[in-house]
Amino acid sequence: MTSTLTISHLTKAFGGVKALSDVSLAVEPGERVALLGHNGAGKSTLMKVILGLIAPDGGEISVCGAAPGKARSKVAYLPENAAFHSALTGLEQITYYMRLRGEAASGAMELLDRVGLGHAAKRRIGTYSKGMRQRVGLAQALIGHPRLLVLDEPTSGLDPVSRRDFYELLDGLAADGASILLSSHALTEVEARTDRLLILSGGRMVAEGSLPELRREAALPVSMQITALNGYDTDIMAALPDAIRLNGGLHLSCTQEDKLATLARISAMQEKVADLEVIPPSLEDIYSHFSRRDGQ
């Protein structure tokens, strides 16, 4: 399988300040990849290089089998704050973009329906909320069935229901073979709706992999919340001396390596336990771990 996006040892500096340093990554067809990083980590610079807006200082990059900017008909981009002509209706704006792309304008209404704007297609964009304008941007990004979607904070301004619908749309696009690279600070969203995570820090790629892979690499402790049956909390604490009382229950942390052994000890006391909740490290915990490791 040929990767939709391949980057090898990419570097970029501005006035002697390294924005990207030896960055390598690949995005496969049908893959949803989240690009994470603090402000100034290099995410925007990386996206601009991918789109062909700025040239790298070194390294190699292939976008849909071509140099950046040479396969624009196959690449779509949605910025964090999409801006459109306020006097045009949503339908007029998407029709205009479709004509620019050489696509049949008759498909404009279908695109607006896909992003949940069919009901407002003939209203002026100046009357749209920020979330509605963001959906116009998403409709524009979908023109021409792109092979690679580069999305910068794509759910900015969307309400919870619209965010759910947005990710369901991305799921469908990925199932059809589109590659998706999205940048987001909404870690709880991307934790559940992406296949792989890339963490940039100080212009370097400090971590890469699926959430389970990053959990194993970070080796952060696992938390367990134990609810004891009436009167048995003292017995459980005696058997688990590291447990503490917290929020009406017993809280315990252990290493990844000790997780199964700890669960076995709790299971042996099942007649004294009413409930058990195992809480693995969240993406926020993992992100903080790798960022701190890099000194950020």
Number of domains forming the structure of the chain: 2
Same domain as 257, residue 139:
no
Query: Which of 185, 215, 245 represents a domain boundary (last residue)?
Result: 215
Q: Return the closest-CA partner of residue 23 out of 50, 1, 53.
A: 50
Q: pLDDT value at position 293?
A: 52
Task: List the CATH number of the domain containing 255.
Answer: 3.30.70.260
Q: pLDDT value at position 58?
A: 95
Q: pLDDT value at position 63?
A: 95
Task: List the CATH number of the domain containing 49.
Answer: 3.40.50.300
In a domain, 260, yes or no: yes
260: three-class secondary structure by DSSP: helix
Q: pLDDT value at position 1?
A: 60
pTM for this structure?
0.85
Q: pLDDT value at position 35?
A: 94
Q: What are the 10-residue block averages of pLDDT along the chain, 296 residues in total?
A: 90 92 95 92 93 94 92 88 91 94 91 92 93 89 92 84 86 92 87 91 93 90 92 90 89 91 92 93 90 59
Q: pLDDT value at position 80?
A: 81
Give the containing element (helix H, strand E) for 132: helix 130-141
Pairing of strands 58-63, 75-78: unpaired
Give the containing element (helix H, strand E) for 21: strand 17-27
Q: Return the closest-CA partner of residue 194 out of 62, 27, 59, 31.
A: 31
Residues spanned by the domain of 237: 221-280
The packing angle between helices 283-293 and 211-218, to 10°, is: 50
In a domain, 119, yes or no: no
Q: Return the closest-CA partner of residue 31 out of 168, 197, 165.
A: 197
Question: CA 288 to CA 296: how far, in whole Å?
Answer: 9
Q: Return the closest-CA partner of residue 136 out of 160, 161, 162.
A: 162
Q: pLDDT value at position 156?
A: 77
Same domain as 82, residue 27:
yes
Query: Which of 193, 215, 237 represents a domain boundary (last residue)?
Result: 215
Please, are residues 74 and 146 in contact by the beta-carbon 8 Å criterion?
yes
Q: What is the DSSP string of 184-213?
A: -S-HHHHHHH-SEEEEEETTEEEEEE-HHH
Q: pLDDT value at position 81?
A: 79
Q: pLDDT value at position 261?
A: 93
